[in-house]
Amino acid sequence: MTGVPLPTDEYARLLDLASYDVLDTPREAAFDRITRLAAHLLNTRVAVINFIDQDRQWGKSAVGLEDTTAPRQDSFCAWTILQDGPLVVENARTDPRFAHNPMVVDEPHIHMYAGTPLTTPAGHRIGTLCVTDDRPHPLTPADLQALQDLAELAVSELELRARNLSLDRELGAQRRRNADLQRGLEHARVLEDITRLMDLDLSPEQMTLAASALLGEALAADYTGLVVFEDDGLRVQAAHHHPRMPAAARALPSELPYWPADLTQTLRGLKRPLYLDDYPSYPGALQSAVDCGIQQIAWLPLDTHGEVTSLLMAVRLNGSEVCGWRGSDRTLLEAAGRSVRNALSRRREVELARQDARQDALTGVLNRRALGEDLPRREQLGPFLLAGLDLDGLKAVNDQEGHARGDRLLQVFAATLKVELGGTGQLYRLGGDEFVVLGTGDEDQVHEAVDTAVLAARQVAPLRGASVGVAHSREASGDALLALADERMYVVKRRRHAAQAGVAQPVT
């Protein structure tokens, strides 16, 4: 028996077959009608709709057989899907491909086989409609045409079935959306208030505390608070507590940093909300919390950014009018959590975009826009100096060694100067070979930092040096201060060029 080759489009064919979601499904009347018609019209004992999966033949409908599942290597239909038209085997016992096939030598003792591919609109042959007989059974061209017509009917039924499945999924999704909308309407006021909070000019912590307070009232909670895990531990801030909350219970959350490490580690690692309807029976329950009357606790992860993780904690005492965290409670909590997370994410995105807009793309230091924003603010903070810098010889490096080398020189110069300035100054690149330093140090510190940066840059390419002009905030402000530093820088540059020209002249 010869092994069955794979179609050239095998992977795409399997994906197309999977898209119909038909494998291993119950029999369906529409397909049974087609196999009955095929057996009747071609006067055969067996008619089958088979699909060729990765390693098997699987039958969706059959007349004359109970089960047509078989290994793909034994499948007649696996040969049929290799061609566009019908495959007819008049005598399987004399055909070298099938002479030793288990379905020929054993039940159902196939003698004649005729099958035609089920070709999808995408052009993939995913299965067959076939007929077999255990004795000689000649077929006419009209028989084969009828078989092909019925195969096209089977594909049409497959398409209709796929569309109906898709429609059912869409209707199911619509029903779920309607249910979600109904649940959302029940808490619309609270969620609207929380959404409005997100637009206020509040810090992330203020925002989450305010949202926690609103949630506390809506949930009929006796206490809500914000738990913040940081590098060096954790802290708890109360957002809302009911007047009936006893003083001992109100003080309990402040003791959270001293709770057992396994409990705090569990809370810090929470990825999903944790709802406890019967806190006293919880294996990790603290006796002091139980003694204070705490009956229900909910923990809701709000946000993790870097090493800081924040959670909402909601508490209900014994005797609460609400027994357990209801579905509507959980929906509200989790919807509010999503709102807070989205708002915090948007804040971070805005902040990152603002930082990107202030950063020089080549060197990573601050840019001209950042200088325009920072200079007025810096003028409000007290005395400072502004140094204008211009690299001497960068154009020659670009001309002689290429712009890639010049760019690398700028990167090394800027990175070194930023490190050397440390906390005494901010570095800005205005463009090209021009830089500005806003600093609180003295002129000598700036010159020393620039000299070190020039030495580092010379490891990349032969930079002649850097001209520096310094102006102090007491001398001018705004653009006038920039212009003063620029003027002094050009005086230094002209002096440097004149000195270099003098050295270059021959002695006479």
Whether 334 and 244 have beta carbons less than 8 Å apart is answered as no
At residue 204 the predicted structure's pLDDT band, cuts being 50, 70 and 90, is low
**pLDDT tens, 54-83?**
999 999 999 999 889 999 999 999 999 999
Q: Do domains 10-164 and 199-354 have the same CATH topology?
A: yes
Supply the mean pLDDT for the chain.
86
**pLDDT over 70, % of the chain:** 91
What is the rounded average pLDDT of the residues 354-382?
89
Residue 505 clears pLDDT 50, i.e. is over it: no
Query: Which DSSP symbol is given to 460?
Result: T
Q: Where are the domains of the chain?
A: 10-164, 199-354, 366-504
CATH number for the 199-354 domain, one of 3.30.450.40, 3.40.50.300, 3.90.1150.200, 3.40.50.1240?
A: 3.30.450.40
Q: What CATH architecture is 10-164?
A: 2-Layer Sandwich (3.30)
In whole angstroms, what is the distance from residue 410 CA to residue 425 CA?
A: 18
Q: What is the pLDDT of residue 333?
A: 82
Lowest mean pLDDT among 250-254, 269-273, 295-299, 483-487: 250-254
Residue 179 clears pLDDT 80, i.e. is over it: no
Higher pLDDT pick, 117 / 269: 117
In whole angstroms, what is the distance from residue 455 CA to residue 419 CA?
A: 14
The two beta strands, 434-439 and 385-392, are antiparallel
In whole angstroms, what is the distance from residue 427 CA to residue 386 CA?
A: 10
- Fold designation for 366-504: Alpha-Beta Plaits (3.30.70)
Lowest mean pLDDT among 111-120, 253-262, 493-502: 253-262
What is the rounded average pLDDT of the residues 138-152?
96
Residue 10 clears pLDDT 70, i.e. is over it: yes
What is the rounded average pLDDT of the residues 392-415?
91
Residue 381 main-chain phi, psi, to 5 deg: -100, -5
SS3 300: strand
H-type alpha helices, 241-393: 247-251, 261-268, 287-291, 327-357, 368-379
Residue 160 clears pLDDT 60, i.e. is over it: yes
In whole angstroms, what is the distance from residue 39 CA to residue 330 CA?
A: 58
Closest Cα partner for 73 from 6, 7, 15?
A: 6
Q: What is the pLDDT of residue 251?
A: 72
Contacts of 270 (CB under 8 A, 6+ apart): 299, 301, 311
Q: What is the pLDDT of residue 507?
A: 35
Q: What is the pLDDT of residue 182?
A: 61
Closest Cα partner for 344 from 238, 226, 232, 183?
A: 226
What is the rounded average pLDDT of the residues 459-485?
92
At residue 506 the predicted structure's pLDDT band, cuts being 50, 70 and 90, is very low
Q: What is the pLDDT of residue 194?
A: 76
In whole angstroms, what is the distance from residue 486 CA to residue 79 CA?
A: 83
**pLDDT tens, 208-219?**
778 778 887 778
Higher pLDDT pick, 418 / 499: 418
**pLDDT tens, 219-260?**
888 888 777 777 666 777 777 778 877 777 777 666 666 666
Closest Cα partner for 411 from 358, 365, 356, 468?
A: 365
